[in-house]
Amino acid sequence: LIFSLVSVHAQDLDAKYGVDLLKPGTVAPEIIINKDGGKMNLLEENKGKYLVLNFWASWCGDCRKELKYLRSINRTYAATDSIEIIGYSFDNEKSAWKKCIKDSALVWQNYLSEIPMRNSRVKRDYHVGWIPTTYIIDKEGKVVLATVVIDKVIAKLKEIAPNVRPDYLP
């Protein structure tokens, strides 16, 4: 009974906040970031892996609650070399973003949008209307899952890598 209530609640969150997200099979839009004085296409740089692309911000309470699950995902799949977490933050202040990364022990790739969320091309391209929003992108750069529900991310990763023992996942 508890599981079914959680599932219904999770579905309602996607029905409310994730209705416009990119559909599975869609080619994931490129994300160009500034890195080391140059430009880098984030997805191209990580091609050949499944990417867990998490849109978040340190000021977002729901995002902060979700970080413990992302740490568990990272501990579970980090050794596989085939699944990579990438955090993309819409923080307004770089210092708050850096502090959250340090204090929350976010050891995966994290990038900060240089443009406020409301004006961000990445926000528009990925149809992010609510954070946290998470996408799973396959090795060819196509969307596998788009959701605002971390339980769906965990379930999909278990499907993608059934032989990985999820020691840390609920």
pTM: 0.90
Question: What pLDDT shows up at residue 3?
Answer: 40
Top mean-pLDDT range of 10-19, 80-89, 141-150? 141-150
Question: What pLDDT shows up at residue 169?
Answer: 59
| Residue with the larger pLDDT of the pair 122 and 11 | 122
SS3 for 108? coil
The model's pLDDT over 111-168, given as tens digits with 9 standing for 90+, comes to: 999 899 999 999 999 999 999 999 999 999 999 999 999 999 999 999 999 888 766 5
Question: What pLDDT shows up at residue 8?
Answer: 45
Question: What pLDDT shows up at residue 165?
Answer: 73
Task: Kindly state the DSSP code that residue 113 receives in the 8-state scheme.
Answer: -
- Which long-range contacts (C-beta less than 8 Å, at least 24 apart) are formed by 31-36? 31/88, 31/111, 31/122, 31/125, 33/111, 34/114
The rounded distance, in Å, linking the Cα atoms of 43 and 40 is 9
Task: Kindly state the DSSP code that residue 97 receives in the 8-state scheme.
Answer: H
Instruction: Examine the pLDDT at 11 and tell me if it is beyond 70.
Output: no
Question: What pLDDT shows up at residue 79?
Answer: 82
Residue 29 has which token pair? 């839009």
Instruction: Examine the pLDDT at 38 and tell me if it is beyond 50.
Output: yes
Determine what percent of the chain is predicted with pLDDT higher than 70: 91
For residue 74, what are the contacts with CB-CB under 8 A and spacing of at least 6? 85, 107, 108
Question: What pLDDT shows up at residue 43?
Answer: 92
The rounded distance, in Å, linking the Cα atoms of 88 and 86 is 7
Q: How confident is the model at residue 4 (pLDDT cuts 50, 70, 90)?
A: very low
Beta-carbon neighbour count of residue 74 at 10 Å? 18
